[in-house]
Structure 1
Amino acid sequence: MSETPPEPVVEQPLSERERRILDGHDRLAALAAGPRERHIRERLGMSPTQYAQILNALLESEKALEYAPVTINRLRRVRDENRRKYW
């Protein structure tokens, strides 16, 4: 009985919403918490929790890295520094 090799994982292209999240992250991060949450709800149509979940998933995405390498690499560094500091 021969095993078939696993199919390679093909990552889907970034959605319009994911590109908007990456494009606006720097401006959004500069806002205070209240205006930031309001912006996420009104302009992106999602909760701040959903925004954070999508952004965290994008940190692991090669497509996101290709699309916004400076943003993704900076956020990965911050995440890694926080892990070292608090874990």
Structure 2
Amino acid sequence: MGAVTRVEQADPSSGLSERDRQILEFEGQHWTYPGSKEESIKDLFDLSTTRYYQILNQLIDTEAALAHKPLLVKRLRRERSRRQRTRSMRRLGMQV
């Protein structure tokens, strides 16, 4: 995988910054071992894992991200909704 630059200029045609596009590309990769993804997040984006996922969650709510990577963004939105439902059910004492 090539090096990720930290340029954050927006592409007027997409509405996404270079970092936004890189995050979407990165998130579309398959990860076999969770630790390797966390290390790559730190190395490539110089972000904590928590901050990376905060940025990713904001990003997938944008129309620009949906237009850029529709299948990925829809999958990530579904996965997030599923996790939110599971947490809500647990809080209500319902079996998951």
Which residue does 1:51 correspond to in 2?
52
User: How far does the alpha carbon of each residue in 1:27-86 deviate from its partner, in whole angstroms, 9 at most, with x for none?
Assistant: 2x5142221111011112222112101100012101111111011100111111122222
For 1:81, give the aligned amino acid. Answer: R
User: Structure 1 length normalisation: TM-score?
Assistant: 0.76
| Alignment partners' CA distance in 2, 1:31 and 1:16 | 26
| Alignment partners' CA distance in 2, 1:14 and 1:31 | 28
Which residue does 2:27 correspond to in 1?
25
**Cα offset for 1:26?**
2.5
Which stretches in structure 2 are left out of the alignment for 5+ residues?
1-13, 89-96
Q: Does 1:13 align with 2:18?
A: no
Which residue does 2:93 correspond to in 1?
none
- Kindly indicate whether structure 1 or structure 2 has the higher relative contact order, using CA contacts under 8 Å at least 6 residues apart: 1
Which stretches in structure 1 are left out of the alignment for 5+ residues?
1-11
RMSD, aligned CA: 1.6
| Alignment partners' CA distance in 2, 1:67 and 1:57 | 15
User: Structure 2 length normalisation: TM-score?
Assistant: 0.70
Alignment coverage as a number of residue pairs: 75
Normalized per residue, the structure richer in strand is 2
| Structure with bigger gyration radius | 1
| Alignment partners' CA distance in 2, 1:72 and 1:26 | 9
